[in-house]
Structure 1
């Protein structure tokens, strides 16, 4: 499978197409964005940041990288890759955007040799630490610091869009996707990491599973529930799992201390993978 960097980027200030000139991306209005030596570009303007360093911290990114590279979530990665490639004809070319890519694990798995399909890949995350880690590991994809609320991507330029445990902004997703393109979304189920949550919180609600409504401009074409058990041995992978989730900051000091005292943990992974197709505006 031929894998290249996705380059249909848009200026985050005015929406005009960006053109690459050596180590700089420029738009017709003169806005320019330097490409870092690691290969990524920052397309998140200062005036659109809500904090100095939005998104995951350097420590959270490192924890997620260690945990994912250990293969604990490989069944999710395999299911995502299958959903992305499903229905694609041999010899076809697909542009794929991971909106909220983190440290790039899922795009790296997708980029592994898998049939006669050409992929142009772009990973985007609001955390510069995540994009930096991703760019260091995978040189075939493009990597951008940016926001799902204002994707620096040209309209109707994406065939496949991933949103995994992230923050979907469906109007933006619809804008950048081609008619017939597919959105692959993964969300936590009601029992996801339940055993860990029971340790760090005094009470865990038994919420019923809710099927998200179909976003405007899309139709649901597939739903897959994934449920399996992960066995963690040693304090480090347990600490990494907690550190890569919002539970690290939501839990009390007592809850975090209980988790830190664990030497082994079996935890349920419960996620729902949904695939949506972008409507053809003409029909």
Structure 2
């Protein structure tokens, strides 16, 4: 069962926000309207680095088509399993997907948690991504916002997800309860290697070494999930390229080679890192 998410804070003064009809308001009177799709924009214009930050409408549409086709479902199911195993066994719990995109991983978590009481929220800097997420699932709370200044109260979350995103560890530590989990997923050294070998003249050597443990956390676990993905049809391959940074890093020749493909066998190689919030306090509003 998905519960209302109650721990939002005002992006202007960090005061608690309360739902008031079709808006969220803080005690100082700052108000943030709920869009007709069901999301709320908590990214003040002064905190934007561009007029339309984050993924474009076209990138979001490509990611929605690709993920909804189930290509990354083994990864989503493993993430859901680990989150549910790490949450308190009884009572209510809250989880934030920091950099939620169009909401696929949070939707899979909600579908896997039918016997649990979870408050779910997703935040992304792209208005188009959050809009798409809200259209596909109304039960979770969807927010336009930034990982650098999460609109969430201190020490209120049981779990933070960061899926192929941009972690801001000081903010994640601030919003997590002591003992709360950060589940971070990044690309492993062989992730989409076959596609990268086609679009790039040469691959950069991978950096090796153990994952670092950021301040405020202890190591929980780190390992990998690998599986083979068979893509059929030019559209699915084009969607994959468009939803990754590789489209903008490769050359026109590389993009042309990818566009000529009609089938591709790929390795999905994801690094899963679980960090546990320790008991030390973090200053409110830090965003290191």
TM-score (norm 1): 0.96
What is the rounded CA distance, in whole Å, between the counterparts of 1:88 and 1:14 in structure 2? 30
* Correspondence for 1:180: 179
Deviations 1:79-115 (A, max 9, x none): 1101111143543211000000000000000011436
* Correspondence for 1:195: 194
1:82 aligns with 2:42: no
**Residue segments in structure 2 that go unaligned for 5+ positions in a row:** 282-288
Cα shift at 1:208: 4.2
RMSD: 1.2
Over 3 Å counting, the alpha-carbon distance change for 1:89 and 1:278 in structure 2 is closer
CA contact (8 A) 2:87 2:158 kept: no
CA contact (8 A) 1:7 1:142 kept: no
* Correspondence for 1:215: 214
CA contact (8 A) 1:153 1:176 kept: yes
Deviations 1:123-165 (A, max 9, x none): 0000000000000001110000000000011111111000010
CA contact (8 A) 1:90 1:115 kept: no
* Correspondence for 2:127: 128
What does 1:116-265 correspond to in 2, within 5 Å? Answer: 116-265=115-264
* Correspondence for 1:59: 58
What is the rounded CA distance, in whole Å, between the counterparts of 1:113 and 1:149 in structure 2? 29
What is the rounded CA distance, in whole Å, between the counterparts of 1:89 and 1:151 in structure 2? 23
* Correspondence for 2:274: 275
CA contact (8 A) 1:91 1:116 kept: no
What is the rounded CA distance, in whole Å, between the counterparts of 2:117 and 2:135 in structure 1? 22
* Correspondence for 2:4: 5
What is the rounded CA distance, in whole Å, between the counterparts of 2:209 and 2:238 in structure 1? 29
Over 3 Å counting, the alpha-carbon distance change for 1:268 and 1:8 in structure 2 is same
Deviations 1:215-248 (A, max 9, x none): 1010111112111110101100000000000001
What is the rounded CA distance, in whole Å, between the counterparts of 1:210 and 1:67 in structure 2? 31
Secondary structure in 2 aligned to 1:134?
Answer: helix
Deviates more, 1:114-123 or 1:71-80: 114-123
What does 1:28-67 correspond to in 2, within 5 Å? Answer: 28-67=27-66
What is the rounded CA distance, in whole Å, between the counterparts of 2:216 and 2:86 in structure 1? 20
Runs of 4+ in 1 over 3 A off after TM superposition: 87-91, 113-116
**Residue segments in structure 1 that go unaligned for 5+ positions in a row:** none
What is the rounded CA distance, in whole Å, between the counterparts of 1:195 and 1:116 in structure 2? 40
What is the rounded CA distance, in whole Å, between the counterparts of 1:177 and 1:70 in structure 2? 32
Deviates more, 1:95-104 or 1:200-209: 200-209
TM-score (norm 2): 0.95
Cα shift at 1:185: 0.4
Cα shift at 1:280: 1.5
* Correspondence for 2:110: 111
Aligned residues: 281
Deviations 1:18-77 (A, max 9, x none): 111001111111211111011100000001100110000000000001110111111110
